[in-house]
Amino acid sequence: MDDARVHAVSAALSPYVWRRLTPEMVSRRALAAIDGHGAAGAPVARRDERIGILVEFLAGCRWRSLTADALSRQLVTALDAWHEESQWLEIELRWSLDGGG
């Protein structure tokens, strides 16, 4: 996957001993990179709803055994899957409210 977001997340995690970070901090740093704040940017605010999505994903895998690049790909993929599912839920809700579903 040649995705600029994957490269940004990997670059954001690499300066840190990221395997020692909490799942929440890994998620916050990854989201800051995805949002375009780069490696030097502050992590996203704790109230960002996407943190829970990534923390839940991390809880279900052995992420500390991955490379920074592999973890970055997995985080971006998990976020994309959540976003796509959210979009479908919105479409289905609109259909049901419009009487089309």
Answer whether 55's CB lies under 8 Å from 23's CB.
yes
Cα–Cα dist 65/71, whole Å: 9
Residue carrying structure tokens 């916050």: 28
Answer whether 48's CB lies under 8 Å from 30's CB.
no
Confidence of residue 88 (pLDDT cuts 50, 70, 90): low
pLDDT of residue 98: 77
The whole-number average pLDDT for the span 24-50 is 88
Q: Tell me, what amino acid is at 50? A: R
Confidence of residue 96 (pLDDT cuts 50, 70, 90): confident
